[in-house]
Amino acid sequence: MADLELTNKETVVIDGYIVDAESGEVLGLAQKEEFHITDEESFNWVMKKFLDTESKLESIEHSPEVAQAKAILANAESMTKDAQRRLDWLTARFSQELAEYARPQLPKGSKSFKTIYGTVSFRSVPAKLVVYDLPSALEWAKKHCPEAIKVTEDFQFSKVNKALIEDLKRQKGFAVIDGSEKVTIKTGVE
């Protein structure tokens, strides 16, 4: 149904459009006056909108469908953990024996032995060095291979004397953003 509003003798507003009353020509869009909080009534109207929306969010979060979905996901997670423990045990118990059996069965030029139940693959993994004791490793490297040591620097703003902050604002490489006030709106819905 059209929203019909008489603006003057020559034009009307229909469904948000300004229309010439005689010819029916669309002259433009009607602009609604922008809403502003100007008094307690308008303030409370906006706060009620916050409350309604937060309440809606809570009702969604605590709906039976969401509760069921969470329960299903929790059950799936528990089942997944059980299955992963079983897979970890099977791997620890049988991977070496599977590899020993599969290696002589490899087709020429292939690194995978395939069956209808799965595949055992062999891949070359390059050697790597793992450092378990960093201080000992650094001590060794300083003596035998100093080029292997990486030195890094960082700037810690929290260590700068507050009196120097104004000077920092004028220095290249710094942007000091002044503190501001943060506004929090609470309706009480948890």
Percent of all residues in the chain with a pLDDT value above 90, rounded to a whole number? 53
Q: What stretch of H or E contains 112? A: strand 112-115
Tell me how far CA of residue 145 lies from CA of 134, 142, 148, 151, 172, in angstroms: 15, 6, 6, 14, 37
What are the extents of the domains in the chain? 1-32, 36-121
Check: CB of residue 60 under 8 Å from CB of residue 69.
no
| Residue-wise pLDDT tens digits, 71-82 | 999 999 999 999
**Which DSSP letter does residue 176 get?**
P
CA triplet 142, 146, 149: central angle to 5 degrees? 90
In this prediction, residue 6 carries a pLDDT of: 47
In this prediction, residue 46 carries a pLDDT of: 94
What does the mean pLDDT of the chain come to?
87
Coil, helix or strand at residue 117: coil
Average pLDDT on 156-177 reads 79
| Residue-wise pLDDT tens digits, 32-73 | 778 899 999 999 999 999 999 999 999 999 999 999 999 999
178 closest CA partner among 159, 165, 163, 164: 165
